Amino acid sequence: MDASADALATADAVDVDPAVGLTASDVAERVAGGRTNAFTADTSRSVWNIVRANVFTLFNGIVFACFFVLFVLGRWQDALFGLAAFANSIIGCVQEFRAKAALDRLALLNAPKARVRRDGAELELVPADIVLDDILVLRAGDQVPADAVVVDTRALQIDESMLTGESDAIDKRPGDDALSGSIVVSGEGAARVTRVGADSYANKFAGEAKRFSLVASEVRGSVNRVLKFMSWIIGPVGLLVLNAQMVVAGGWAQAWENGGWVQAVVNTIASLTAMIPLGLVLMTSIAFAVGAAKLAGKQVLVNELPAVEGLARVDVICLDKTGTLTAGEITFDALHEMAARDGSGRADPAASGIDAVLAWYGAAPDANATARCLREPFPVVTELQPAAYIPFSSARKWSAASFGTAQPGTWVLGAPEMVFGDAAADPATELGRVVTGLASSGRRTLVLGYSNTALSDADVVAERLPEAVAAVAVVTFREQVRPDAAQTLAYFGEQGVSIRVISGDNPRTVAAIAREVGLDVPEGYDARKLPDDDAELGEVLEQHTVFGRVTPEQKKRMVVALQARGHVVAMTGDGVNDALAIKTADIGIAMNSGAAATKAVARLVLLDGRFSHLPDVVAEGRQVIANIERVSMLFLTKTAYATGLALLFGVLLLEFPFLPRQLSITDGLTIGIPAFFLALLPNTQRYVPGFLKRSLTFAIPTGAIIAVALTLYTLGAKSLGVDEPELRTGSTIILAVVGIWVLTVLSRPITRFKALVIGAMFLGLVGVFTLPLLTEFFQLVDPGEEAAYLVAVVTVLTIAAIEVVRFIHRRFVARALAAAGV
């Protein structure tokens, strides 16, 4: 038997007097048995796991090994590439530490104290000290600290909206469950604890929500696929290059004897580190971090950096009504008086005290949230004292009061269909016509009824209404719709993002709110009719927009079903009942007014609760993904030509034409530094799937052209008798000039700012090749007159070939965008 079942069995077997509670020996026995409410959930991810995932990777292992070897060989000048690997690891760790900190702060149970009855006395304890079978003393404002069964109640009402999504408080009777994490809104009572610690409802939610997962990111996924592919080939290619360098050094035996193996190892390291697109990983992290910082200035907290990109890819957004479309509050709307009649159909003059009665209902000590909305429009003028009173119950959804001679007869306030039955929903009746008309406009309706007959003691005990109750007035209330909801939903509609409104409330009410914010929807779909089969569920979700009476588990299933149909799903909400769906969605968005659990698992948190920030997030995501696509072509072109060079020079048994430090020139001035600026430029291009494919269709042919060009230059230079230092310098010049040209091609159209960046990089290259201190550090020499001509010819031909590739690539991208409707 599992722990939960065992706890329940134990609880059912114990008979505890609610007036006395547990004795000291009972408590000691349970503490010794570990049946306490103490709960320390496993952290989302350990510090060691985060460090291991970001530092001890295959590529970091290769890079750091190369870094270490060069230091051992005394060639620290060639180890500059290690800085990018260090930066990658630090940014990755910091990013996941932030996400871990948010998840570890998750706490559904935040009540500072809990009241229990032990040995006949009432005690205040921290929730962790509660034990199984304790008798909880519950009063208005308390948070239920552990799952319990109600054993005594005096008009006890509990709000479970943060757990179940049902916005109305629930009337609790003996034998009913009181879930941990719910709030007592009125009345008082006692409840016996049935589940504690990890078995409680709230902590089970926390356990599932705290499972670590990274947000789905096409950029990160694409980069990881490139890295995975490179991991398969880097070993064999490295051995191929090392063999070629050792052969060039005179053969393996002679190279070991004369020390030529040192240069062979350095050349091999140069080829391997050039193949790894470390800068792309670093630039992606920087772009995400800058995007997150910009959004923070707009009151949007990004819990995980790739979420900046994620919303740009979303094509379905699921919205919780309460707290998202609405502010989670209701307000008085209007009073619609009707001709009051007694049971015989005659006008009843006694029903003229409507304002005084509504004032009493609003001011009543046990008034629920809806009744309290009556206090402002109906201030108390005449004090009424009930002679008989049946308090409101969420089960029967009405309350009744008789005030003696002050207001003769009985007054009833409640849900129309619960007081008057089918007549309240029949448009053929006067009441039905008024109620259905108002309800269809999104208003919440209550009816005020009157009977000439006062409540008897028997009526109060049996909780029944007197005969001949007639409708006197219909009272309407409105949920406060967020003023920016309609505008934001219209924006998503224009962008081709479909909407699903998901709520625990009545489907008709949810549909009316949806219509109020601009959605053209019929009546909502009752989630109690949702199919169990996931494929059928997906079909229902495609056909309907508004869903009511949705449970937290169903919300999660709905998100999964949409994802199974190929959708990228965003989920917004504020209640604990939304936490699992928000965690499961590709992008989870929480309101800052929501539960701590929901904010902790969300990728994005709207700090001021304004829906209108979401277009800003979309725009920022588009800028990130469009700019990274552009700069990725720079880095992937480098990976392509480095891999091509390694293969060609390995097969042809040629000495690798660069030192690692010389590759740092082109890495920094033609790729790394300009990519940083390009990644932060404004870009409003709409997201189109296929980021990696579009990047590779430019990078691979361009890289192949550069690799072939450098190989031909090396063969030509050797045929002219050019020495290795001059040959390396000539190769560096070709790669630098071609690199600047690739940068220019990918920056088109050239703006003033882009021209400034490209010009600065060109001046930097001129400085590297002319300043004595830099030429000495990078071991650059005069390539010689003959080699200079060869450098010029190879450079011009390479640039021409790249222009052809770019022309073909632009036509390919244009067709892809046209197919996507962009």
List pLDDT tens digits, range 70-93: 878 877 767 766 676 677 677 667
Instruction: Tell me what pLDDT residue 745 has.
Output: 93
Identify the residue with better confidence: 388 or 167.
388
Instruction: Tell me what pLDDT residue 319 has.
Output: 86
Instruction: Tell me what pLDDT residue 305 has.
Output: 66
Instruction: Tell me what pLDDT residue 804 has.
Output: 95
- Which range among 433-437, 630-634, 718-722 has the greatest average pLDDT? 718-722
Mean pLDDT of 648-673: 86
Q: Is the pLDDT of residue 636 over 60?
A: yes
CATH of domain 3-35+108-209: 2.70.150.10
Residues 6+ apart with CB under 8 A from 83: none
Residues β-bridged to residue 147: 195
Helix (H) or strand (E) holding 76: none
pLDDT band per the 50, 70, 90 thresholds, residue 685: low
Contact 324, 572 (CB under 8 A): yes
Largest CA distance in the chain: 121
Identify the CATH class of 219-294+619-819.
mainly alpha
Q: Is the pLDDT of residue 2 over 90?
A: no
Handedness of CA 136, 137, 138, 143 (dihedral sign): negative
Identify the residue with better confidence: 781 or 95.
781
Q: What is the distance between the alpha carbons of residues 557 and 190, in angstroms, rounded to a whole number?
A: 35
Spell out the long-range contacts of 424-428 with Cβ–Cβ below 8 A and sequence spacing 24 or more: none
Spell out the long-range contacts of 230-235 with Cβ–Cβ below 8 A and sequence spacing 24 or more: 230/59, 230/275, 230/276, 230/277, 230/639, 230/643, 231/58, 231/59, 233/643, 234/62, 234/272, 234/275, 234/276
Which of 455-459, 523-527, 544-548, 579-583 is predicted with the least confidence, judged by mean pLDDT?
Answer: 579-583
Q: What is the distance between the alpha carbons of residues 653 and 242, in angstroms, rounded to a whole number?
A: 10
Give the other-Cβ count within 10 Å of 531's Cβ: 12
Which of 183-192, 570-579, 659-668 is predicted with the least confidence, judged by mean pLDDT?
Answer: 570-579
pLDDT band per the 50, 70, 90 thresholds, residue 263: confident
pLDDT of 466-497, one tens digit each? Answer: 888 889 899 998 877 887 888 888 888 888 88
Where helices occur in 73-160 by DSSP H, the ranges are: 82-104
Mean pLDDT taken over the chain: 81
Q: Is the pLDDT of residue 748 over 90?
A: no
Instruction: Tell me what pLDDT residue 208 has.
Output: 58
Which residues are catalytically annotated?
Answer: 320
Q: Is the pLDDT of residue 281 over 80?
A: no
Instruction: Name the residue among 131, 135, 147 with its Cα closest to residue 188.
Output: 135
Q: Is the pLDDT of residue 178 over 60?
A: yes
To the nearest whole percent, how much of the chain has pLDDT over 70? Answer: 85
Q: Is the pLDDT of residue 463 over 70?
A: yes
Mean pLDDT of 659-680: 83
Model's pTM, two decimal places? 0.62
Q: Is the pLDDT of residue 344 over 50?
A: no
1.20.120.530, 3.20.20.60, 3.40.50.1000, 3.90.230.10: CATH of 299-326+483-618:
3.40.50.1000
Identify the residue with better confidence: 123 or 306.
123
To the nearest whole percent, how much of the chain has pLDDT over 90? Answer: 22
Q: Is the pLDDT of residue 640 over 60?
A: yes
Identify the residue with better confidence: 383 or 541.
541
3-state secondary structure of 224: helix
pLDDT of 12-43, one tens digit each? Answer: 445 788 888 898 998 999 999 888 888 765 54
Which position has the token pair 């239920």?
A: 144
pLDDT of 609-628, one tens digit each? Answer: 777 888 888 777 777 777 78
Mean pLDDT of 527-533: 88
Look at strands 114-118 and 135-139 and give their pairing.
antiparallel
Decide: residue 448, CB within 10 A, 0-12 exposed, 13-18 middle, 19+ buried.
buried
Instruction: Tell me what pLDDT residue 820 has.
Output: 60
pLDDT band per the 50, 70, 90 thresholds, residue 203: confident
Q: Is the pLDDT of residue 110 over 60?
A: no
Identify the residue with better confidence: 158 or 327.
158
Which position has the token pair 């921290």?
A: 126
The rounded Cα 516 to chain-centroid distance in angstroms is 26
CATH superfamily of domain region 336-474 = Calcium-transporting ATPase, cytoplasmic domain N (3.40.1110.10)
- Which range among 80-94, 659-673, 682-696, 776-790 has the greatest average pLDDT? 776-790
Decide: residue 572, CB within 10 A, 0-12 exposed, 13-18 middle, 19+ buried.
buried
Instruction: Tell me what pLDDT residue 235 has.
Output: 85
Q: Is the pLDDT of residue 6 over 50?
A: no
Domain boundaries, the chain: 3-35+108-209, 219-294+619-819, 299-326+483-618, 336-474
- Which range among 250-259, 289-298, 315-324, 578-587 has the greatest average pLDDT? 250-259
Q: What is the distance between the alpha carbons of residues 206 and 191, in angstroms, rounded to a whole number?
A: 23
Q: What is the distance between the alpha carbons of residues 732 and 665, in angstroms, rounded to a whole number?
A: 8
Decide: residue 374, CB within 10 A, 0-12 exposed, 13-18 middle, 19+ buried.
buried
Region class of 400: left (phi > 0), else alpha (psi between -120 and 50), else beta: beta
pLDDT of 219-232, one tens digit each? Answer: 777 877 887 888 78
Mean pLDDT of 670-687: 77
Q: What is the distance between the alpha carbons of residues 822 and 815, in angstroms, rounded to a whole number?
A: 10
Mean pLDDT of 394-399: 75
